[in-house]
Amino acid sequence: MTMRLTRRAALKQLGVVAAAAGATAALGGRAFAAEPTQLTFMTWNYQNDTVQQFINQFQAENPDIKVDMQVIPGNEYVPKIQLMQNSKTPFDVLYVADGILAQWAPWLQPLDGYDGAAALKQQMLNLASRSMTYQGRLYGLPYFSSYFALIYNDRMLKAAGFAAPPKTYDEWTLQARAIKSKGLSQAPMLWPVKIAGWGGMWVVNTMAASRGGRVLDDSYNITPIALASIAWWASTYKEGLSDPSGLELDPNTSAAAFMSGDYATMLTTSFFAGPQWANDKTKSKVFGVTKLAPTPALHKTAGFARLYAMNSASAHKAEAWRFMQYMGGTDKNGSFVTPKAWVVSGALTWGYGGVARDPVVDQSLRSWGADPSQVEANLESAVPMSAVVPFQAVWYSEWEAYANGVLQDMLAGRTSPQQGGSAWSAKAKELAARYR
């Protein structure tokens, strides 16, 4: 009896399969095709068309995955992502700034165990790997990494009689005085100070790194090098060498102001010298004469990274990892497709060794006057922000917002560097104790 029932059931099942096969043939073989896995990719608002091209290329190589890009305005990005996470709104992959990594790490997916992650990390620049590693775990792949550089108006410097940009802070002051005295600029120095993603504290961090030091020591005391950096910077405002209205300029608005041709120098992120900003031939008055130089003193600099990360709550981790590898690593042929493309479309520099030697990258950098070997050297030697300040402390962003306000008072002469530095130390110690 059991054998007859089993046989009858088997024959019935075969009939079902045969019917299904007939339906498949009638529909051109599509009845049993699996639906593509849907990934949700959260981005901030920057060159959305470029990002969509990357997505289209990835989908062409991976037809079993569809990627839905959801764009959030930059100033709303962090609170919106945090709200989505708190409300358990599903998403898979997202942009992360290294400054927020410590706060988001509890719900991001560590990548160390994923196939190919170790090989990619081995190829990363120290700046990129350290910026994307928290408490010994890798949480991202590079969207881009960048460094702070001296951006200068070569035409203005030459008009003042200088063949090269300053190599020391004293020389920087002397050049600015000469430029001002010759009437070439009312205030030759321009700076990004107001916070919008980052602000003046990152300039201080870079100045400290350029002198081979830190801003806060292990006990959160202000260092002599940091005080010297602030004192020098404040003196440029007191002497009228820095534009006082610049205290209200953020990274983007200061870069736009530099394009007017009214300034000689600016210490900011290297990509602001690129063809989308100062070397934009259609919008910039300093197109073709804006150059990049290393920071003064020891010519060291500080840098940062932006990364692709995975939500640990994603229901599609394998597919998300495949997408991340393409966006933040290589395609199936081992080519760094998106890192190279970002150099061309946004002058955004890379997170892996050897990219500078790619002919497309080399040509793109040279097209607006950058020296590929110099850019590569700066990226390779740049220290991450965590080497200068407690950047990966969960309280750092709160401290930075406070410290940036104090910095504006110091630069405006309302607070002395010693008073401001003491306030920075006290606040850091208070926050460290609160978040212990």
Q: DSSP string spanning 380-396?
A: HHPEEGGGTS-TTSTTH
* Structure tokens that stand for 352 in this block: 């892996």
Work out the burial of residue 62: count CB atoms within 10 Å of its CB; fewer than 13 is exposed, 13-18 middle, 19 or more buried: middle
Per residue in 175-220, pLDDT (tens digit) is 999 999 999 999 999 999 999 989 999 999 999 999 999 999 999 9
C-beta of residue 292 within 8 angstroms of C-beta of residue 82: no
Q: Are 268 and 252 in contact (CB under 8 A)?
A: no
How many alpha carbons fall within 13 Å on the CB side of residue 61? 16
The pLDDT of residue 8 is above 80: no
- Report which of 341, 327, 261, 257 is spatially closest to residue 95, judged by C-alpha positions: 327
Interacting residues of 324 by C-beta distance below 8 A, sequence separation 6+: 93, 111, 141, 308, 310
CA distances from 181 to 244, 265, 340 (A): 18, 16, 43
Angle (CA) 43 47 48, round 5°? 55
Mean pLDDT of the chain: 93
Look at residues 159, 262, 250 and name the one whose alpha carbon lies nearest to residue 196: 250
Q: 91 with 69: CB under 8 angstroms?
A: no
Distance CA 39, CA 58 (A): 12
CA dihedral 206, 208, 214, 215 (to 10 degrees): -90
Tens of pLDDT, residue by residue over 232-266, are 999 999 999 999 999 999 999 999 999 999 999 99
Give me the mean pLDDT over the 68-73 stretch: 98
Return the number of other C-beta atoms located less than 10 Å from residue 366's C-beta: 11
Query: Measured between alpha carbons, how far is 308 from 103 in angstroms, rounded to an integer?
Result: 16
Q: Are strands 93-97 and 290-293 parallel, antiparallel or unpaired?
A: unpaired
**Nearest CA-CA partner of 95 in 56, 62, 142, 128:** 142
- Tokens 């990835």 locate to 58
pLDDT at position 33, please? 60
Neighbouring-strand partners of residue 268: 149
Tell me if 351 sits within 8 A of 130, measured CB to CB.
no
Which residue, among 353, 375, 352, has the nearest Cα to 365 in the 3D structure?
375
First-to-last CA distance in the chain?
72
Residue recorded with tokens 């550089």: 149
Query: Which is nearest to 367 in space by CA: 260, 280, 251?
Result: 280
Give pLDDT tens digits for 169-187: 999 999 999 999 999 999 9
Return d(Cα 89, Cα 23) in angstroms, integer. Answer: 38
CA 361 – CA 381 distance, rounded (Å): 19
Among the listed residues 87, 294, 344, the one whose alpha carbon sits nearest the alpha carbon of residue 171:
294
Average pLDDT, stretch 63-89? 97
User: CA-CA distance, 361 to 340, in Å (whole number)?
Assistant: 6
Is residue 263 within 8 A of residue 289, CB to CB? The reply is no
Q: How confident is the model at residue 377 (pLDDT cuts 50, 70, 90)?
A: very high
pLDDT at position 30? 41
pTM summary value: 0.90
CA angle 384, 385, 389 (to 5 degrees): 135
* Rounded distance between C-alpha atoms, residue 204 and residue 414, angstroms: 18
- pLDDT tens figures, 153-169: 999 999 999 999 999 99
Residues in a beta bridge with 141: 308
What does the block give as tokens for 378? 């700066």
